[in-house]
Amino acid sequence: MNQWWDEWVKRPFLRALVEIPWFGPVLTAILVALLVNMLTEALTSWGGVGFGFLVWAILAVCTVIFVYLYELTRRQQRRKGAALGTPADREHPMQSEGLVFLITNEAALREAIEYHRPVLKHCWLIVTPEMQPVAGGVVSQFKEIQFSLKPISDLYNTRACYDTANHIFEREAPLQQIPLSQVMADITGGTKPMTVGLLLACVKHGVAVEHVPAVYDKITHKPIGTLPPIAIELT
């Protein structure tokens, strides 16, 4: 019975909720409207209009309190790294003056920048042509931070990413008067070949590495948010 329920009722219903944008809101609106009509009729016939309004006011206050407490709990879990998908025993990296980021995920980039503020002075974005508009949007929102866009045309060119990272560590960071001990490399975005190139350069120069974990929905298993960066140990 449980297998039949999962296969023919639960999974198709959840799939429809996820894949059909209007299905969930329309179904919810219909059910809420029916419930409101039923409760309104029951309350007014039992205790009068005044009693009905009083009950609805209490329900509204309870709803607001519930939403507030839920959001507060979610923020606390987010700070502690206790949400799904994040090892609770992982340490956070130190805040750094320089950040090298492989950008294919705007939310992860914003999370990393916010984490390193106000210490962060310069951010190097290793970016593909497709992500340059996204990078430009992020750059325009953080006026106090200097940005350098480092374009890479080939998503799968490990050598290009390696050479770009080496140039940042050997030439550009010293020009910004940022020691490599104050540079952080974030490997959250990018393709795997890009990540390999950046990691090889980090090992060569002893640059610290971090990763921005994602929070996943327990039902759809799709990412719904990000958490503060965690440190990645290479030695």
**pLDDT tens, N- to C-terminus, the chain (235 residues):** 666 776 776 777 777 767 777 877 887 888 778 777 877 777 677 766 677 677 777 877 887 788 778 777 766 665 554 444 445 567 899 999 999 999 888 899 999 999 999 999 999 999 988 888 888 888 988 989 999 999 998 889 999 999 999 999 999 999 999 999 999 999 999 999 999 999 999 999 999 999 999 887 777 778 778 889 999 988 7
Tell me if 101 sits within 8 A of 123, measured CB to CB: yes
151 burial type by CB count under 10 A (0-12 exposed, 13-18 middle, 19+ buried): middle
For position 234, what pLDDT does the model report? 80
Name 16's Cβ contacts closer than 8 Å, sequence gap at least 6: 23
- What is each CA distance from 29 to 22, 25, 33, 36, 38, in whole angstroms? 11, 6, 6, 10, 14
For position 53, what pLDDT does the model report? 73
For position 82, what pLDDT does the model report? 46
For position 49, what pLDDT does the model report? 65
For position 2, what pLDDT does the model report? 66
Which residue is it, tokens 């700070």?
Answer: 79
For position 6, what pLDDT does the model report? 67
